[in-house]
Amino acid sequence: MEKDFKPRYELTVMNTLSRKKEKFEPLTPGYVGMYVCGPTVYNEVHLGNCRTFSSFDIIYRYLMYLGYKVRYVRNITDVGHLVGDVDEGEEGKIEKQARIEQLEPMEIVQKYTNLFHSVMHQMNTLSPSIEPTATGHLIEQIEMVKDILANGYAYEQNGSVYFDTQKLVKEGKDVYNYGTISGKKQDDLLTETRDDLKNQSEKRHSSDFAIWIKAGPRDIMKWPSPWSVGFPGWHLECSAMSTKYLGDYFDIHGGGMDLQFPHHENEVAQNVGACGCQPVKYWLHTNMLVLNGKKMSKSKGNSILPHELFTGNNDILSKAYSPMAVKFFMLQAHYASTLNITEKGLQAAEKGYLRLMEAWQILEGLQHDVDEELTGDDAQINKMLDLAFEAMSDDFNTAAALAKLNIIIPKINSLKNGRMEMSAISKATLERTKQVFHDFIFEIFGLLDETKNVEDEDGSNLLDEAMKVIIELRQSARSQKDWATSDLIRDKLQKIGIQIKDGKEEASWIKN
Ligand code: AMP
Ligand code: ZN
């Protein structure tokens, strides 16, 4: 791409490194390299995980919309990092799940990777450009440990290798001030003891962390290395894979805020230790989805799974919410704010989503043949469209962008009823409104029109008619408390991409 590349709109981003909004200027004009920490595939992703991945999907989409060529790398963590803190004999998460489900660890990995992909598909997120796995990059990780050792930033103890945080604090501070990302004071960092080590006693300092861990007798997922048969430390895969696919220094690194410490702090430490340079220009962190006032978390028993929400099979909410209603709900908050999931919020989002889709359908059907003078309404509409892009270009503020589009919706609704009002806006404004609504809804937000796609070519609705019969049969099974049949119908439909939504009054259905 030419040196004089100009994005459609200038973008500013909130950089965790500086804790300031900065003008976004990628290292190579026109190109963006972005790495996002992916899921650990030992169980189903919960809705909080989905919020983070959905936020980065929109960031990815908007960067492309601005004209950048983006390489988006999102990893799959398929090495089972330890479940608890420090106990000797601690089990890896994937190995533990494998034991519970009586499967091979790699069967667990495949099962939950597939489920993750299907949820991402339901949420209509784009696949990343590269989705590397930790187990597929052991050679790169071992090479990185060698480099860190060679540079004196790590030491070996009894077959495990530890990163020397003290050395980084003393000697690496001109390259990276350890603690910058997490905003922690160095004293706090250096007394921090929590990480996934089995053998705290082997460390020279409590804040040191393992980059290679010697396997214990119970470990199944283990590989040979110059130091021992073992496995890499959790933070290592992201350092090694981001370097491999995006280079020593790249544009954007993302993840949830809960990963700032220790994960991202230690990722930077490893990169500094291996190549003497900081890896990332802009660090972006998404905030947490909150349920019952607390961060959504599966291990704390405070979570809701996407399919529980989409099907209505949960004890928290009174009915099902479709993937697009949920996505719309997430769009209504900026990615860096916490988002509290509530029934009221979801209901409002469902309405808001339908209102937006209806406005789009009206717009799509409007034609304007006569070129007219611009009017006062034109000016107001164009201003709102400009402001929507301004909001989106201000650190991807989907909430503010949506609010601007919402202001135009009553105007669009007033156009649907005939020619009189049509002359209220010019052809040019109508065409622009159509284009901008289209781009925001489908390209930038990645919403799908769930209200459509049931009509047959001849205008009849056989599928809908057939579904009504199925829903009736299921209803009758339920009234006889025949839950097995009712669940069977629901699960079989789910498999073919149809969701039953159980309402208080009556059930309905949508295509996934
Ligand atoms: P994990 O598989 O636990 O590493 O999580 C995958 C991604 O989801 C990470 O970027 C986490 O920061 C993010 N995440 C975890 N819990 C939440 C939550 N409650 N809200 C938003 N993002 C979350
Ligand atoms: Zn990571």
Q: In this predicted model, what pLDDT tens digit does every residue of 400-426 receive, in sequence order?
A: 999 999 999 999 998 876 544 555 788
Report residue 456's pLDDT band, with 50, 70 and 90 as the boundaries: low
Report residue 512's pLDDT band, with 50, 70 and 90 as the boundaries: low
Q: Calculate how far, in angstroms, residue 442's C-alpha sits from the geometric centre of ligand 2.
A: 29
Q: Calculate how far, in angstroms, residue 35's C-alpha sits from the geometric centre of ligand 1.
A: 15
**pLDDT averaged over every residue in the chain:** 91
Binding pocket residue ranges, ligand 1, CB within 6 Å: 37, 39-40, 48-49, 51-52, 255-256, 258-259, 286, 288-289, 295-296
* For range 224-252, the mean pLDDT: 97
Mutate to test the pocket of ligand 1, among 40, 43, 52 (most ligand atoms within 8 A of CB): 52
Q: Which residue owns the Cα nearest ligand 1 atom 5?
A: 39
Q: Calculate how far, in angstroms, residue 123's C-alpha sits from the geometric centre of ligand 2.
A: 22
pLDDT at 511 over 90: no
Mutate to test the pocket of ligand 1, among 34, 37, 49 (most ligand atoms within 8 A of CB): 49
Ligand 1 nearest atom to the CA of residue 289, by list position: 20
Q: Write out the DSSP string of 422-440.
A: HTTS-HHHHHHHHHHHHII
Mutate to test the pocket of ligand 1, among 257, 258, 259, 338 (most ligand atoms within 8 A of CB): 258
CA distance 146 to 430: 61
Give the least confident one: 201-215, 248-262, 321-335. 201-215
Q: Calculate how far, in angstroms, residue 297's C-alpha sits from the geometric centre of ligand 1.
A: 8
* For range 198-212, the mean pLDDT: 85
Ligand 1 nearest atom to the CA of residue 303, by list position: 19
| pLDDT reported for residue 420 | 41
| pLDDT reported for residue 282 | 98
Residue 182, phi then psi, degrees to nearest 5? -80, -10
Q: Which residue owns the Cα nearest ligand 1 atom 7?
A: 49
Length reported for the chain: 512
Q: Calculate how far, in angstroms, residue 319's C-alpha sits from the geometric centre of ligand 1.
A: 25
What proportion of the chain, given as a percentage, has pLDDT over 90?
Answer: 75
pLDDT at 16 over 60: yes
Three-state SS at 460: coil
Which residue has tokens 């200027």? Answer: 25
| pLDDT reported for residue 92 | 87
Report residue 186's pLDDT band, with 50, 70 and 90 as the boundaries: confident
Q: Strands 280-286 and 250-256: what pairing? A: parallel
Ligand 1 nearest atom to the CA of residue 254, by list position: 10
pLDDT at 352 over 90: yes
Ligand 1 nearest atom to the CA of residue 296, by list position: 19
Which residue has tokens 């503020």? Answer: 397
**Could you tell me the residue ranges of all domains in the chain?**
29-286, 291-444, 462-511
| pLDDT reported for residue 199 | 62
Tokens encoding 203: 């460390």
Residue 289 CB neighbour total at 10 angstroms:
25
| Whether the Cβ atoms of residue 336 and residue 286 lie closer than 8 Å to each other | yes
Q: Which residues contact 340 (CB under 8 A, 6 or more apart)?
A: 290, 291, 293
Q: Calculate how far, in angstroms, residue 392's C-alpha sits from the geometric centre of ligand 1.
A: 23
Ligand 1 nearest atom to the CA of residue 259, by list position: 12
pLDDT digits (tens, 9 = 90+) for 84-133: 443 445 688 999 999 999 999 999 999 999 999 999 999 999 999 999 99
Ligand 1 nearest atom to the CA of residue 38, by list position: 6
The CA-to-CA distance between both ends of the chain, in Å, stands at 38
Q: Which residue owns the Cα nearest ligand 1 atom 12?
A: 256
Ligand nearest to the CA of 45: 1
* For range 303-309, the mean pLDDT: 96
Sign of the four-CA dihedral 129, 135, 136, 137: positive
User: Max Cα separation, the chain?
Assistant: 83
Q: Which residue owns the Cα nearest ligand 1 atom 6?
A: 39
Report residue 504's pLDDT band, with 50, 70 and 90 as the boundaries: low
| pLDDT reported for residue 88 | 44
Q: Calculate how far, in angstroms, residue 78's C-alpha sits from the geometric centre of ligand 2.
A: 12
- Do domains 29-286 and 291-444 share one topology? The answer is no
* For range 276-288, the mean pLDDT: 97
| pLDDT reported for residue 370 | 64
Q: Which residue owns the Cα nearest ligand 1 atom 11?
A: 256
pLDDT at 144 over 80: yes
Q: Calculate how far, in angstroms, residue 258's C-alpha sits from the geometric centre of ligand 1.
A: 7
CATH 2.30.110.10 for domain 291-444, yes or no, is: no
Residue 433 CB neighbour total at 10 angstroms:
24
pLDDT digits (tens, 9 = 90+) for 361-410: 999 988 776 666 667 788 999 999 999 999 999 999 999 999 999 999 99
| Whether the Cβ atoms of residue 322 and residue 510 lie closer than 8 Å to each other | yes
| pLDDT reported for residue 363 | 93
- Going by the DSSP 8-state scheme, the letter that residue 6 receives in this structure is -
Q: Calculate how far, in angstroms, residue 161's C-alpha sits from the geometric centre of ligand 2.
A: 19
* For range 448-459, the mean pLDDT: 74
Ligand 1 nearest atom to the CA of residue 257, by list position: 12
CATH topology of domain 29-286: Rossmann fold (3.40.50)
Report residue 500's pLDDT band, with 50, 70 and 90 as the boundaries: confident
pTM of the predicted protein model: 0.88
- The residue among 158, 161, 164, 151 whose CA lies nearest residue 190 is 164
